[in-house]
Amino acid sequence: MSGESNIVYIGRKPAMSYVMAIITSFTGSDAKDITLKARGRSITTAVDAAEITRRKFMKELNVGKITIGTEEIQQEEGGTRNVSIIEITLTRG
């Protein structure tokens, strides 16, 4: 689908779930790149998913820009806390 933004949000599922999402997202569109977004403990899963996809399934993929940052999360009990985020862009070579 055109107009679709090529973002895969990484959560708490096993890395292989996101590997499948990345592959589907690339093969289901003519997107040249896809950005993985993760925060907190899911950051490791994002790196795992990027590495597994690139090494085992789509060897033509390159790791593009990687950025880190901090997001303020609104807590239910009031106040905020900071959580780290990562964005990893994968590019079809």
Binding positions for its own copies, rule: CB under 8 A: 40-41, 43-44, 47-48, 50-51, 55, 63, 66-70, 82, 84, 86, 88
- Dihedral sign for Cα 4, 72, 46, 19, please: negative
Which DSSP string do the residues of 33-90 spell out, in sequence order? EEEEEEETTHHHHHHHHHHHIIIII-TTEEEEEEEEEEEEEEPTTSSEEEEEEEEEEE
Nearer to its own copies, 14 or 69 (CB): 69
Nearer to its own copies, 4 or 73 (CB): 73
Smallest separation, CB 81 to its own copies (Å): 12
Smallest separation, CB 14 to its own copies (Å): 14
Smallest separation, CB 41 to its own copies (Å): 6
Query: Are residues 70 and 4 in contact, defined by beta-carbon separation less than 8 angstroms?
Result: no
